[in-house]
């Protein structure tokens, strides 16, 4: 996918672009809000990664302008401002997600890819519920029966996919393609390891297990 990086910190932008390239994505850099607006208006981007504090035009103003012009490209805000009010301001300005600096690069990749998937499906719910299990894509939180569950970025992606297919069996091939973006079987136990970790986090200590292994088929999340 094609990603526009609006970031005035050149070294930070270069690191992001390299990481995205290593993950198989193409990124373009705009060093300020004015250049970012011009590039975004040219179209062709799947996701915009926007720093809130930029010269010439700040990130909030840039995104607000694009939204008024009818541009619905998903936006991930990056900012050192991490208070709840700051996040709310970013979302109200037209952002779809908000990541606080400093951040783990794996989480940036996961969030960008999640935004792209939502765009590809025409927009999907950002709050998923299966039984007493709840996943919030904006706040990046997971709760079961009111108890917060801490997940790593890949575990979060895996759970999101399972919740979107709740009650249905998903195969290893589906997980490899949609969660890991592998279009081949790497012949490793990567899925088994992550399923085991996820199961221990969302089922351990609760009355009823939700994550089931379907013999010969794959896995199923069932309330």
Is the Cβ–Cβ distance between 128 and 117 less than 8 Å?
A: no
Mean pLDDT of the chain: 88
d(CA 203, CA 117): 27
d(CA 40, CA 43): 5
pLDDT digits (tens, 9 = 90+) for 128-172: 889 999 998 878 899 999 999 999 988 999 999 999 888 888 998
Domains of the chain plus CATH, in order, are: 2-120 (3.40.50.2300), 127-221 (1.10.10.10)
pLDDT digits (tens, 9 = 90+) for 103-116: 888 888 888 888 87
Q: What is the pTM of this model?
A: 0.55
Q: Which helix (H) or strand (E) holds 194?
A: helix 190-202
Lowest pLDDT segment from 4-8, 23-27, 196-200:
23-27
Region 1-13: mean pLDDT is 92
pLDDT digits (tens, 9 = 90+) for 41-97: 988 898 999 999 999 999 999 999 998 888 888 999 998 887 888 888 888 888 988
Q: Name the residue among 2, 206, 35 with its Cα closest to residue 113.
A: 2
Residue 122 pLDDT greater than 60, yes or no: no
Is the Cβ–Cβ distance between 157 and 151 less than 8 Å?
A: no
């Amino acid at each position: 996918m094609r990603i526009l990086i609006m970031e005035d910190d050149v070294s930070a932008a270069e690191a992001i672009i390299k990481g995205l390239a290593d993950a198989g994505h193409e990124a373009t850099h705009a060093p300020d809000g004015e250049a970012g607006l011009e590039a975004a208006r040219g179209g062709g981007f799947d996701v915009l990664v926007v720093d809130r504090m930029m010269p010439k035009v700040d990130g909030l103003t840039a995104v607000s302008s694009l939204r008024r012009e009818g541009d619905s490209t998903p936006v991930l805000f990056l900012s050192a401002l991490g208070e709840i009010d700051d996040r709310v301001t970013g979302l109200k300005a037209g952002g779809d997600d908000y990541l606080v600096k400093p951040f783990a690069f794996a989480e940036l990749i996961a969030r960008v890819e999640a935004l792209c998937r939502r765009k590809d499906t025409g927009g999907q719910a950002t709050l998923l519920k299966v039984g007493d299990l709840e996943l919030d894509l904006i706040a990046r939180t997971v709760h079961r029966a009111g108890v917060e569950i801490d997940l790593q970025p890949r575990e979060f992606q895996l759970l999101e996919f399972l919740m979107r297919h709740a009650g249905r069996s998903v195969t290893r091939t589906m997980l490899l393609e949609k969660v890991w973006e592998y279009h081949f079987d790497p012949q490793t136990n990567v899925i088994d390891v992550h399923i085991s970790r996820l199961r221990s986090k969302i089922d351990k200590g609760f009355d009823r297990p939700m994550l089931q292994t379907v013999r010969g088929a794959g896995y199923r999340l069932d309330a």
